[in-house]
Structure 1
């Protein structure tokens, strides 16, 4: 079966944030990671955070989602 819209648009792992809880309070989103941050400030299972901090990539040209892209994904659904 196909994935639902929420499976991607509200999935912290699909967006590269790692496991945890996305919380919407009014129009603002916050994220509570399930794991503690490492030296780079990101949890071990995260590639980006909501502020745009990003981990390293293994391929040239690869990148995490920007804060604007993450916000568009989160706000695409009511």
Structure 2
């Protein structure tokens, strides 16, 4: 059984990765905030899945759906 490894990207320790994952969210959504009802995208954490990092973001009131939405940014390790 594979062990799930979770971690948080610390912008002070990994500023390049922090910028990359937020930029990828902006490409998917057209905006890195998507302000709606005082809610914006939030970084929820990251995990290792096989040979990929998966970075998860949540928006509690997405402007298009008015519902909680999650986006997963997948990046190859290495």
Q: What TM-score does the superposition give when structure 2 sets the normalisation length?
A: 0.31
Larger Rg: 2
Q: Which has the higher strand share?
A: 2
